[in-house]
Chain A
């Protein structure tokens, strides 16, 4: 049994149908804590103590956000800057997060094929996520491939619902320890584990 902390960051959730559905899906899974950062800290004054306590209480850290300019919305960066303190998350004394698992859950407007070396975005999602990968590494966490919802601009209603139920399956898989971490690490996206 493992616990999952979803650090959700969307500055305009009221405009994102896909993310609203994804959030709905995650709320019915046991041992999942949703931490809605823009709702908690509308003025960006992050409560560092609270955030560190939440991190200590969970095994999986999911950074759930839309992809903005090939990275996350500003709140995620603010969160990293303030919460992952030297001497706590990293550095010689910073061992608080050792062994925890971290991954990104992202929605992108562009289709999957745009994120190829030959596509118009020229880099893959994994390449864009290098800073997160390295952050996890420096904090002695295990970084897992992302769960990605591509092409949100053109998603039909049934497709959105399919992604939402995939997200739910992913969370169930993580909380009930049914994931083979070694196998998972070799995947491009965690979505691949869920195509049944």
Chain B
């Protein structure tokens, strides 16, 4: 590998590693951290990166494509349908009105109508990354403002696709096309005219069909190998191939990725794909933000500080105004409306993509793009500060903080029981409940098993059950019981933690493998813990006693009594375990505990109680005393 590539990678990674945690700690969010990192290594400060920054930005745009794939994955048709009013109404009006207003303002500065319209559409975007991240961190996603904000961002994400389609029609400047652009479209250009629309339609239809009928079996085969990196590679390969295919027929790669995402949104691998690809999206977007930061033209700002700041203020004020009017129209309370309108008033990361697209396609002049890139970056940087001002200065004056609205409008599963792990243990519990007509939703990590169960018509999700989003789509908000029958105690503990944090209403029943994880579960505050071998061991013990000639009922009673005694002893040992941990190694501790258990078993005091009523001994004695 070329050493300069490694040095570049070092510079980029080091800046991100250094600045993102600092920005996070200061409450500014990771996006701002990346931007700052970019500014630092860019020509304005350290000058560690130069012109190659643009190439890197181009490469990092793959992060945006992945982001749209993920947006598509989130867009199950039912979910979209439930959100249709806020998404289409609120989101649609926001994009339309903001584009018209900011475009109109651009017109007054003397720009022709084409670039003004393009600028208006670009400025209508808000920052999904910053806003959702901030709302999540503050736990505001479930409020009315949070839900409406999400709806608007969702519409903006979709609106990028038609915007990308419209923009080339607005070109007035000479094309500043990159070499790659021509290379890919060349294939299509070589087709005769009548074949081109056919090729375009064919590509999209092919994409849908392949997504539907080829990718699922492929993912199943890959998942069966149990090699996570191959699964990830397959997912990335799919997104990359889609991008190439789309570019070949002259469509936006982002659109292709989005369509592929929607096609796979209902598949059992949805959540796995999300969690596997998400880090790549994060890293590439991070890289993207860094290169944006590096590309900010500070000379321009220093030359015209008033102009830049003036545009930032005007744009943000115009956006906030339109959002506030719409919030009022959609009956948001004042405090919610403030959060909603101030939260979304920045210009988002999509603007960078659209700007580079616009300048490549000769829609906006380079000077305009440079100026507006700085404006967008500053408006994004302002967002955390705007949130802070709203929180500390505006909301306290209102005194009407709306309570977090717990009602969720996207119910996906309604079963009262969720079973995590459908292996040797979980499948017996699940079958038993199913035989009694109790609805169960199953989460499992074995793709063969998931496939079989799905064919039998069961609600089964493939994936890591300890993940919040998977639990949520499995209907954890509406279920009553969570049955954990995972084979790994660590995973089970993760799951317990997630459930306790996000779904505290769920009663948890957990399978434990041995005493050690039984203690761990008890320490986690669980009362329904089931050691997987204890019942069948005791049944064997009962049969052993019976075969030796004990009465069957006596053996049975002894076993039940033994179990009660054992559980009591277990609880006592769990209580003293923590003190003892300090003195003994775990192996010695286990031997010590076994000794204690065995000695407590020998004492048959606990065996006698139940039999008094059936024991004629005392009555016999009394009768003898009365009639000697």
Q: Which A positions have Cβ atoms within 8 angstroms of B? A: 43, 45-46, 48-49, 81-87, 91-92
Contacts and interface: CB of A to CB of B under 8 A. Distances in A.
A48 B610 contact: yes
B582 interface: no
Nearest to B626: A92
B622 A48 contact: no
Contacts of B580: none
B619 A45 contact: no
B618 A86 contact: yes
Nearest to A49: B609
Contact of A86 (B561, B609, B610, B619): B619
A87 B613 contact: no
A48 B612 contact: yes
B609 A48 contact: yes
A85 B613 contact: yes
Contacts of A87: 618, 622
Given A43-B560, A45-B560, A48-B609, A86 B614 contact: no
Interface in B543-581: 557, 560-561
Interface string B590-614: 0000000000000000000110111
Given A43-B560, A45-B560, A82 B610 contact: yes
B560 A82 contact: no
B622 A84 contact: no
B582 to A, nearest CB: 37
A82 B560 CA distance: 16
Interface in B307-341: none
Contacts, number: 30
Nearest to A45: B560
B560 A86 contact: no
B399 to A, nearest CB: 42
Interface of B: 557, 560-561, 609-610, 612-614, 618-619, 622
B612 A85 contact: yes
Contact of A91 (B557, B560, B612, B622): B622
B613 A84 contact: yes
Nearest to A86: B619
Contacts of A45: 557, 560-561, 610
Contacts of B614: 81-82
Given A43-B560, A45-B560, A91 B619 contact: yes
B528 to A, nearest CB: 16
Q: Which 8 A-B pairs have the closest CB atoms?
A: A82-B613, A86-B619, A86-B618, A81-B613, A87-B618, A85-B613, A85-B612, A45-B560
Contacts of A82: 610, 612-614
Given A45-B560, A81-B614, 20 more contacts: A43-B560, A45-B557, A48-B609, A48-B612, A48-B613, A49-B609, A82-B610, A82-B613, A82-B614, A83-B613, A85-B612, A85-B613, A86-B618, A86-B619, A87-B618, A87-B622, A91-B618, A91-B619, A91-B622, A92-B622
Contacts of B622: 86-87, 91-92
A104 to B, nearest CB: 21
Nearest to B620: A86
A87 B613 CA distance: 10
A87 B618 CA distance: 8
A86 B612 CA distance: 9
A45 B618 CA distance: 22
A91 B561 CA distance: 28
Contacts of B610: 45-46, 48, 82
14 contacts: A45-B557, A45-B560, A45-B610, A48-B609, A48-B612, A48-B613, A82-B610, A83-B613, A84-B613, A85-B613, A86-B619, A86-B622, A91-B619, A91-B622
B623 to A, nearest CB: 10
Contacts of A48: 609-610, 612-613
Nearest to A83: B613
A86 B613 CA distance: 7
Contacts of A81: 613-614
Nearest to A93: B622
Nearest to B617: A86
A65 to B, nearest CB: 19
A114 to B, nearest CB: 34
Contacts of A49: 609
Nearest to B619: A86
Nearest to A43: B560
A41 to B, nearest CB: 11
Contacts of B557: 45
Contacts of B612: 48, 82, 85
A92 B622 CA distance: 8
Nearest to B560: A45
Contacts of A91: 618-619, 622
Contacts of B618: 86-87, 91
A33 B595 CA distance: 43
Contacts of A85: 612-613
A91 B612 CA distance: 14
Nearest to B561: A45
A82 B619 CA distance: 14
A30 B609 CA distance: 33
Nearest to B556: A43
A175 B376 CA distance: 77
Contacts of A46: 610
Contacts of B560: 43, 45
B626 to A, nearest CB: 8
Contacts of B613: 48, 81-85
A49 B613 CA distance: 12
B155 to A, nearest CB: 50
A86 B615 CA distance: 9
Nearest to B616: A86
Contacts of A86: 618-619, 622
Nearest to B613: A82
A87 B617 CA distance: 11
Instruction: Pick from B610, B613, B618 the residue with the most CB of A within 10 Å.
Output: B613
A45 B560 CA distance: 8
A83 B609 CA distance: 11
A163 B557 CA distance: 40
Contacts of B609: 48-49
A79 to B, nearest CB: 9
A25 B609 CA distance: 36
A48 B622 CA distance: 22
A84 B619 CA distance: 13
A15 to B, nearest CB: 15
A142 B575 CA distance: 47
Nearest to A92: B622
A92 B618 CA distance: 11
B268 to A, nearest CB: 36
Contacts of A43: 560
A85 B615 CA distance: 9
Nearest to A82: B613
A43 B559 CA distance: 12
B608 to A, nearest CB: 11
A60 to B, nearest CB: 23
Instruction: Pick from A83, A84, A87 the residue with the most CB of B within 10 Å.
Output: A87
